[in-house]
Chain A
Amino acid sequence: MPDLTRRVGVPRLAGISYPLSRPLGRPHDPDGQRAVLRATLEVLEQATRPDHYVELPFVWPETAAQARNASKDEPPSPIAALLLKEPWLIPKLYSGHIPA
């Protein structure tokens, strides 16, 4: 999620359009993983100023629906389950007023 990572303020960022849970690529695809890591390391050498942002050209080999479907059996996170049950708490998340 380069959008979110960029807002955190990292010095250099390589964005990639890969699904959550597997940012380097598919399991047991060493060539693909190595290409992603190498392209990411090259950003380190190219950058000369903060907020340097590069979008890597790699394309995920499945549709978004297929990628999501691979994790359909994962239960919702505790916060997602809570907010589904008590949606009036959502503004706390938006506002950053996290209950202590």
Chain B
Amino acid sequence: MVSQLGLPHLQFLATGAMWTIALSLLALLGGGILGFALALCRVSPAQPVRLLSGLWVQLIQGTPLLVLMFLAYFGFPALGWRLSAFSAAGGALILYCSAYLAEIWRGCIEAVPRPQWEAAEGLALSRIQRMRHVVLPQAIRIAAPPTVGFMVQIVKNTSLASVVGFVELMRAGQIVNNSIFEPFAIYAIIAMAYFCLCWPLSLWSRRLEARHGGAARLAAAP
């Protein structure tokens, strides 16, 4: 019963797109919290903390996201821990994002000029106070453009959740295609939908970069 591409199909795709957004937000939020903690560990004065967090980041960055998803969805049940497709995909994405955000943010923290630390040190601020009041507020400004830019990667990478059967935009497209078999039209629509989600993020990232002159404005202090 092959039918034409119609409104119900588009509604189904729209629901899929909603889940893509939900998965992206989950990955950003969870990955952001974990990534922030990891970034702080990466610049810790304690060498073991730095090394262990660095190892963890390298491990995640050196593993394909697809493998992480398979591990969560197919691997964990073998150990008696069954995850839903959403949890498996979400968990893998959170881990993946945390590693990349940690490295982006570590770079931003280290981009705050060393004399800023020293000035705060000279004023008797403790390490935590220096981080909280002097370094992080400046690092956040430096971090905004690359972080928003990375959100584009997150949105696109949620499409991998389709392979563990989670019905987000990509999987919704496959399902519709299985029923009406119009691969060109459907995958073109899917591509456009991803583009519509990502393009504003790219624009936003570029605007942020222009507004702050990258890190230049902060780093230009004599």
A-B interaction: no
Question: B: which residues have CB within 8 A of A?
Answer: none
